[in-house]
Amino acid sequence: MSIQTSGLGFVGQSVARIEDDRFLVGKGHFVADVQPEGGLHAAFVRSPFPHATITAIDTSEARRLAGVVAVYSGAELNEGTHPFVPFVASPGSYSPLYKPMADEKVRHIGDPVALVVAESRRVAEDAAELVIVDYDLLEGVGSIDKALAPGTPQLWERADGNTLHDHTDTYGDVDAVFAAADRVVTLTLDSHRQANQPMETRGTVVEVDPATGHLTIHNTSQGPHVLKWAIAAQTVSQGQLRSLWQFLRNTQRRKAFFAAAKEFRRSNAADLKKQDNAAMKGQLKKDRSLLKHLGQMGLGLLAKDDYPTVTSVDIGGGFGSKGPVAREDLPIAIAAMRLGKTVQWIEDRVENLSDGGQAREERFDVEMAVNEDGTMKGMRVDAIVDAGAYPSFPFGAHVLPGMWKVYMPGPYHVEAFQLRTRVVATNKGRVVPYRGPWANETFVRERAIDAVAAELGMTAADVRAKNMMTEHDAPSHFLTGPTIDETMSTRKTFDRALEMIDGDEIAQMKADAKARNHRVGLGIASYHEAAPGPPDFADAMSPGAGMLTKEDGRATVEADGRIVMYTSQVPHGQSHQTTYKQVVADEFGVSMDDVEINWGNTDKSQFSFIGTGGSRGGPLGAGVMRKTARQVKNQMLEVAADMLEASKDDIQILDGNIHVSGVPAHGLSFADVAGEVAKRTGVALGPVFSHAEKYEGVGNGGWSCATHVAVVDIDLDTGKVEIPKYLVVEDCGPIINPAIVDGQVRGGVAQGIGAVFYENTYYDDDANLLTTTYMDYLIPTAMEIPEIEIEHLETLTKGENDFRGVGEGGMIGAPAALTNAVSDALGIQVTEQYLPPSRILELAGVIDPD
């Protein structure tokens, strides 16, 4: 490893986790552990029906129950609030506005219609059962086919049927390329609904300062800044004029706002210029009320004196589901504000399985134009996403088309590509980002490549090899826009994977399996992902989107010499505390104990749209830690040079000792240097050195690449599948902490194995949910997940920060590799992603479908 480090060299080592010192002794601090004295507990009354009109709600009996503090109908809670508004407007899309609570209509099982606040959760649940809701039932829409069928009830009256988005992107001359190709291979691929299912459910504890009314919200959010502003904005109850008047007469705020706005326009000028307002115009054509709400919320925010603090210490996993603002966060905050008391809601598992986040129910009609020699010429895909009932805020199903259109052709050369995407509404739980939100583009492409190989009588590996880009393709651009640079190393991972597969061993396994009435198959999947991607990646998805993806960070050295770092990342299992300490300790030349990492408090961290997600924690999060630390170190070295009467260039820091090279005995401590500054400036407390910055990665770099190889062993008697071998060859650049990276890869693969063989959020055609407990939603256990072998490549760039993300990848490759392996084993082309044992035996021709 050639990464440049100073000091003690923690980067690159599997340093034991700092987090474990609290987790392993039971001292983690998760949202359910907050438990403020006298806090009240909330339970929602939720719709038992997929689709219905609410005709009446009677809360009187519930209110009378001892221990109940308040009962609110949905309409009562929505009073004076603003709806969730569309955040991502893509061309051809309409995104319905919706209030925090269901008040006129329910649109999925679990839709919240009333809220009980009581002395305990159990009493709140007792009372929730006493709330009487009258419904007029409507037909539930439980599938893509049903949503699109003529005459199907419409979920949103302003939409075109149940279609919320319909847009086609075309790259190259698709018709000509398809006409010239030797043949076109077609297949329809289906992926089923899955759920993120972190082991900790969502939760929020809203404390109200009795004197000021200030809200402190302990929450499981991956993106707490967005939650903070959503709660502040959506609870604005006064009119625009009043807000405007308050704002204008507050000279200080007015000046600060206009200065900030000017700075924002200046620093994002390029991105702002790129943005295309056509999408928003389309949205406004459907629903002009957006303008009114935006105006009221915007001016209301400007008039407000106080915004909530959102905070978290430990979060028990998220996988994307804790990124969007939970609808429930709003009503709980509103109840706390109205009651002036702490109110908490800890989601239970049934709630979580109903609306805690779902993803991946999608269908793809795929056409691959190829030549007889296996050359891929063109790709045409018609994709439909089942988005469920409510669009997640800020990111939900509407972001998928943008990702797919950039990624779909993957690391292969094609001359033309066309993608039609439709997003349809159904009476199901919300679609949220789920680890590797674009995983299905890999499923589609890699499955289709295997189908092409079978049709042409070639091996799947040969078709890949024939079409996959090599390092010699850099620098250039993908057909879909972004830059190809030296980090685009999928081919290297693919070649290494082929080297590591022992063909004779696999052939022997296949032969042995037949003797046992088993079938063995091997599947490959290769991909690249933006982690963080070159700057033009965000533009390729949505012009100007890059301004949302910068990462803020701040480094300080306090007057007593302590190094205190501030990140906008929100760890929920990724070991940020450990890895950032490694990076910063190396940068300063100190021990990890000398570094403090601050996270999870919106009062301390800078604004971030995303928080943790999108494999940002390594490249951008650690990158900005390193970059700001370097700046602060330089500030310190200036002072130290002065104190040591030496040139700055001659000074080095080793294990916290700042000294002239070769003269460690006459060194200074961080406290010495910081103390000197404190003395000079009279600042005895807080930071004496400080640097903050926005970071978007360095250079053109930032693809994370991998090839997965799965070997499955299928018992044709039972349809049960074992995975005797699973190999991941990945390249996320230089690795900060190998054990942590391995954990990310394996965890992602495990979720992919779960997706293919065990997990299905199952709705029937009328949108009744059949998987509401862990007896039915099957998370794989230690008995189902095999050992996963990992090979690391560490492609370097010329950039100063080479880290690339790795959190999503395992989940991107696994469904494709596994379905390819099953196809190989059974000698068929699998067209669905969910393969429970009964389906395996149907596909194998052992049993008939019922």
Q: CA–CA separation, 197 vs 434, rounded Å?
A: 10
838 part of the interface to other proteins, by CB under 8 A:
yes
CA atoms within 13 A on the CB side of 200: 23
Segment near other proteins (CB under 8 A); pick from 85-93, 152-160, 298-306, 571-579: 571-579
Residues 591-630 that bind other proteins (CB under 8 A): none
Neighbours of 104 (CB within 10 A): 11
Please identify, using beta-carbon distances, which residue of 19 and 365 lies nearer to other proteins: 19
Segment near other proteins (CB under 8 A); pick from 27-35, 79-87, 105-113, 177-185: 27-35
In 534-587, the DSSP E strands lie at 551-558, 563-567
Please identify, using beta-carbon distances, which residue of 574 and 829 lies nearer to other proteins: 574
> Taking Cα atoms as reference points, which of 634, 699, 619, 631 lies closest to residue 673?
634
Residues 700-759 that bind other proteins (CB under 8 A): 717-720, 739-740, 742-744, 746-747, 749-751, 758
Neighbours of 374 (CB within 10 A): 20
Which member of 92, 388, 573, 589 binds other proteins (CB under 8 A)?
573
CB of 121 to other proteins, least distance (A): 6
> Taking Cα atoms as reference points, which of 460, 437, 456, 462 lies closest to residue 447?
460
Q: Residue 767 in contact with residue 142, Cβ under 8 Å?
A: yes
575 part of the interface to other proteins, by CB under 8 A:
yes
Taking the mean position of all CA atoms in its chain, how far away is CA 310? 19
Residues 511-570 that bind other proteins (CB under 8 A): none
64 part of the interface to other proteins, by CB under 8 A:
no
Q: Which amino acid is at 716?
A: L
Please identify, using beta-carbon distances, which residue of 241 and 775 lies nearer to other proteins: 775
Please identify, using beta-carbon distances, which residue of 40 and 233 lies nearer to other proteins: 40
Return the C-alpha torsion angle 716, 717, 719, 720, nearest 10: -110
> Taking Cα atoms as reference points, which of 383, 417, 385 lies closest to residue 398?
385
Segment near other proteins (CB under 8 A); pick from 165-173, 205-213, 347-355, 470-478: 347-355
663 part of the interface to other proteins, by CB under 8 A:
no
Give the per-residue contact string, 280-319, with other proteins (x = CB under 8 A; - = no). Answer: ----------------------------------xxxx-x
328 part of the interface to other proteins, by CB under 8 A:
no
Count of residues touching other proteins (by CB under 8 A) = 83
Q: In angstroms, how far is the first alpha carbon of the chain from the final one?
A: 57
Which member of 3, 32, 643, 844 binds other proteins (CB under 8 A)?
32
Residues 5-24 that bind other proteins (CB under 8 A): 14, 16-17, 19-21, 23-24
Q: CA–CA separation, 641 vs 644, rounded Å?
A: 5
765 part of the interface to other proteins, by CB under 8 A:
no
* Sequence-distant contacts of 464-473: CB under 8 A, at least 24 apart: 464/412, 464/494, 464/524, 464/526, 465/494, 466/373, 466/374, 466/375, 466/376, 467/374, 467/375, 467/376, 467/412, 467/413, 467/414, 468/411, 468/412, 468/413, 468/494, 468/526, 469/411, 469/412, 469/413, 473/413
Give the per-residue contact string, 109-148, with other proteins (x = CB under 8 A; - = no). Answer: -----------xxx--xx--x-------------------
Give the per-residue contact string, 778-797, with other proteins (x = CB under 8 A; - = no). Answer: xxxxxxxx-xx---------
Which member of 76, 111, 169, 200 binds other proteins (CB under 8 A)?
200
The structure tokens listed for 704 are: 């994370």
Burial 539-559 (b: 16+ CB within 10 A, else e): bbbbebbbbbbbbbbbbbbbb
CB of 834 to other proteins, least distance (A): 11
Please identify, using beta-carbon distances, which residue of 15 and 326 lies nearer to other proteins: 15
Q: CA–CA separation, 316 vs 537, rounded Å?
A: 30
Residues 808-837 that bind other proteins (CB under 8 A): 810, 836-837
